[in-house]
Amino acid sequence: MKHIKIAYIGGGSKEWAKVFMNDLAQAEGITGEIALYDIDIDAAKRNQKIGNRINSHEKAISKWDYQVYEKIDGALKNADFVAISILPGTFDEMMSDVHTPEAYGIYQSVGDTAGPGGVIRSMRTVPIFEFFAKKIKEHCPKAWVLNFTNPMTICVKTLYDIFPEIKAFGCCHEVFHTQDFLCSVLEEEKGIKVHRNQIYTDVTGINHFTWITEAKYQDIDLIGLLPSFLDKYYETGFNENGSSDLYLESPFAQANRVKMDLYKQYGILAAAGDRHLVEFLNHNWYLRDKEMIDYWKFALTTVDFRIELREERIKKLELEAEGKKDIDLYTSDEEAIDLMKAILGFNQKVSNVNTINLGQVKDLPLGSIVETNALFTNDQVIPLMAKPLPKTVKNLVLRNANNIESLYEGIKNRDLNHIFESFINQPLLDGLTIVQARALFKEMIENTKEYLNQYFNIDGFLNN
């Protein structure tokens, strides 16, 4: 039995923490402490209660010692793993990030990674991750750090820039869904039904704008099956988990029409949800207006919806924490615990991660954060070499990767003018004049001043 300490930063109001605890309870061979830290200490305490209830579940193989910390230092002290899953700012700031641009004709389906929302959210996030990196360096420099926070790329960039020896990577399940989609294609076209772990997808790009350069089940080329699949589903759309019209009810759903359309044009499969993909492209391509969005069968996820959803979740979590609702253990599709076990030497595992580009993606800048496959094993996370993208797709990805690099430089130097230059280079903002873009930028930083003021000279910029 291996004893470990896992610091869990944030996650207080997320379903995701419960999945994590669910998976931990079923992980053979490991046990130890889960150190909970959240700026909302009540949320951390709620998680502690839920963790304790899971411990006492009859199917729980492994029991964990859930501790709540008031300060991050205690939580991190000597941790073996650190999981970071926070919301940078509140939904008030997110409301501005996502919806303020609408007045300028700019729609965002997610608004947390690229586009105007991604830029402003990054301005709040980078300083927080600078703080995390320093604290990790101080308290647990050898810990493995798993980030789940968005904007993924710039979070991981910050960790490596501040503490270059950090052992950090970012986990995102968008690629998993595309693997599920490919399994559906295989089943549909060949009648072969497999789990996504049985196929191999070569992944490259940046988070939420990732691409599958090759996909094989044994020697069957899954990409080669797409033309025939598209003949059937391009028009109607296809959702690997349900109806292709699910997006009408669920603002997280999509019908893969954008993905299929990009495949038709570029001959290569994008590996993230359509809602994410469209935010890296010219705004007139898929996000011009609500009619167009509807045509492509995905939804804009409003912040109102997120607020509502969170309230429901918290209500449910409170019932579970108080024992008023049963908790059942189940097999999740998340991989975090598997990855940790592989790192602990229990096995080898290959999965996609976001980490620093040491050359695994030849087409993207060295030192930028890229998403590729990596091998997890015996205290190692080693990127695999990615295959090259077609030149025109590379151009689309590189443009965004370079934007993130310059955005990071601007935030690091607290240089609002430089940040603005990254802002106007966002594909989603291509339709604005510089004057309009400046007005939007000023409005968005004014709206979120409360958070930004601690790091930037906002008033100086606004009055200029």
Q: Smallest distance, Å, CB 348 to a second copy?
A: 6
Q: Smallest distance, Å, CB 86 to a second copy?
A: 27
For a second copy, which is the closer residue by CB, 96 or 373? Answer: 373
Q: Smallest distance, Å, CB 354 to a second copy?
A: 15
Contact (Cβ atoms closer than 8 angstroms) between residue 9 and residue 44: no
For a second copy, which is the closer residue by CB, 16 or 346? Answer: 346
Q: Smallest distance, Å, CB 166 to a second copy?
A: 15
CB contact burial 421-437 (16+ within 10 A = b; e otherwise): ebbbbbbbbeebeeeeb
Q: What DSSP letter does each residue of 304-330 carry, written as one string?
A: HHHHHHHHHHHHHHHHHHTTSS-----
Report whether 172 belongs to an annotated binding site.
yes
Report whether 418 belongs to an annotated binding site.
no
Q: Which two tokens stand for residue 16?
A: 């995701």
In this structure, the dihedral spanned by the alpha carbons of residues 152, 358, 422 and 212, taken in order and rounded to 10 degrees, is -60
Q: Smallest distance, Å, CB 365 to a second copy?
A: 10
For a second copy, which is the closer residue by CB, 54 or 203? Answer: 203
Task: Point out which residues bind a second copy (CB under 8 A).
Answer: 2, 198-200, 202, 214, 216-219, 261, 265-266, 282, 284-285, 288, 292, 344-345, 348, 350, 358-360, 362, 373, 375, 377-380, 382-385, 391-392, 394-396, 398-399, 402-403, 405-406, 409, 417-418, 421-422, 425, 427, 430-434
Q: Smallest distance, Å, CB 75 to a second copy?
A: 21
For a second copy, which is the closer residue by CB, 120 or 186? Answer: 186
Q: How far apart are CA 274 and CA 220, in angstroms?
A: 25
* DSSP H or E stretch at residue 295: helix 290-295
Q: Which two tokens stand for residue 341?
A: 């076990």
Name the catalytic one among 139, 173, 276, 283.
173
Q: Which two tokens stand for residue 429?
A: 């903002």
Q: How far apart are CA 63 and CA 17, in angstroms?
A: 16
Q: Among 8, 88, 3, which residue's Cα sits nearest to residue 43?
A: 8
Cβ-Cβ contacts under 8 Å for 255 (sequence gap 6 or more): 236, 237, 238, 239, 244, 245, 246, 247, 274, 296, 297, 298
Report whether 208 belongs to an annotated binding site.
yes
Does the active-site annotation cover 173?
yes
For a second copy, which is the closer residue by CB, 148 or 209? Answer: 209
For a second copy, which is the closer residue by CB, 96 or 210? Answer: 210
Q: Is 307 exposed, middle or buried (0-12, 13-18, 19+ CB in 10 A)?
A: middle
Q: How far apart are CA 360 and CA 289, in angstroms?
A: 38
Q: Binding site: residue ranges?
A: 150, 172, 208
Give me the active site residues, please: 173
Q: Binding site for substrate: residue ranges?
A: 150
